[in-house]
Amino acid sequence: MPVIEPIYCTVGRRIQEMRASRGMTQELLGRSLMPPMTRASVANIESGKQRILLHTLLQISGVLNVPINEFISAQADPAQNQNSGSDLEHELAKELDVPKRVLKRLANKFVEAQNRNS
Amino acid sequence: MSVQTARLQADRLIDSYHVERAPVDVLSLARQLGLSVIFENLGEGVSGLLVTRAGRGFIVVQKQEKPARQRFTIAHEIGHYVLRHQFDNGRPVHVDRGYLISQRGPRSTTGLDAKEIEANQFAATLLMPVRLLKTALSKLGDPPLSDGVVTELAKIFQVSEQPMTIRLTSLGWL
């Protein structure tokens, strides 16, 4: 499989997050574009397997009502700071009254799920 | 944001994922939205958590509670996520404790309570969509509804009787 530049993964992940948080399906997003895009293409863009075209990104930014720079800004890629669960363990400890081993297990599960999805 | 918007968003979600029959599979809906769902012992009085981190969402559900209650919790947390609720100081962890009690409380206008009420309305709409309720009712007989029917509906939709009663009342069917 050809190597795709990491920026496409980042952009794809942000599209996925914004779309999902609006309760929109991949299919619906694809249909909102002109020309329409199949669900599979949207999935490939979101996973970073397909390089998104500039005019497509512009349209998606319009459909999701998100400024285009939010997809491509140079802020740190979330993927880079998701390897450690210790900060989260700390946050959980502030809110929950459970044994430390439970906090640790929870934080680990988050990191696992995050790595699996990214 | 308002209660109406919350209901509308839940209806849109139900429609766009083509949910056709009760009980609504909230676990699958959460996953399709990119939310991971984890069951864990969360200590006394805690029903669930929504954790947002690096743009991703996680729902943690109290392991100790009954399945019907857990389903409501998952739907409630999906509500916080879909409605893009921001919590105090942008903290990554939001804890929900006994929110059902404050559902129709008098403090509904304060910031946090308003979000909880919206999430509850979202959850009720998601778990008990009008269209599916009508279908179920058409098989159970016409109003006025007896207590037995409420129990039966709660069973079909896999929710507790309390939220089912509230839902039917707010729809003017009870």
Q: What angle do CA B78, A95, B71 make, to 5 degrees?
A: 30
pLDDT at A6: 77
**Longest Cα pair distance anywhere in chain B, in angstroms?**
50
pLDDT at A77: 47
Give the gap in angstroms from C-alpha B23 to the nearest C-alpha of chain A: 19
The yes-or-no verdict on residue A2 having pLDDT over 60 is no
Of the candidates A3, A79, A8, A12, which has an alpha carbon nearest to the alpha carbon of residue A43? A12
Please give the average pLDDT of every successive group of 10 residues along chain B, which has 174 residues.
87 89 94 90 89 80 93 94 75 72 42 81 95 90 78 95 92 87
Chain A CB within 8 Å of residue B109 CB: no
How far from each other are the two terminal CA atoms of chain A, in whole angstroms? Answer: 18
The pLDDT tens digits for A53-108 are: 999 999 999 999 888 888 886 554 444 444 467 778 888 888 888 999 999 988 88
Contacts of B126 (CB under 8 A, 6+ apart): B10, B13, B14, B24, B26, B29, B75, B78, B79
Residues B38, A98: C-beta atoms closer than 8 Å: no
Residues B44, A97: C-beta atoms closer than 8 Å: yes
The domain spans of chain B are 3-127
pLDDT at A73: 67
Coil, helix or strand at residue B159? coil
- CATH number of A6-117, picked from 1.10.630.10, 3.40.190.10, 1.10.3720.10, 1.10.260.40: 1.10.260.40
A110/B56: higher pLDDT: A110
Chain B CB within 8 Å of residue A110 CB: yes
Task: Give the C-alpha separation, B52 to B59, whole Å.
Answer: 9
- What mean pLDDT is predicted for residues A9-23? 88
pLDDT at B107: 44
pLDDT at B161: 93
Give the gap in angstroms from C-alpha A51 to the nearest C-alpha of chain B: 21
CATH class of this structure's domain B3-127: mainly alpha
Of the candidates A97, A106, A93, A90, which has an alpha carbon nearest to the alpha carbon of residue B45? A97
Q: Choosing among B15, B51, B80, which should be mutated to test the A contact, i.e. which has the most A CBs within 10 A?
A: B51
The yes-or-no verdict on residue A113 having pLDDT over 70 is yes
* Whole-prediction pTM: 0.69
The pLDDT tens digits for A26-50 are: 999 999 998 999 999 999 999 888 9
pLDDT at A80: 43
Task: Give the C-alpha separation, A6 to A12, whole Å.
Answer: 10
pLDDT at B57: 83
Give the gap in angstroms from C-alpha B112 to the nearest C-alpha of chain A: 16
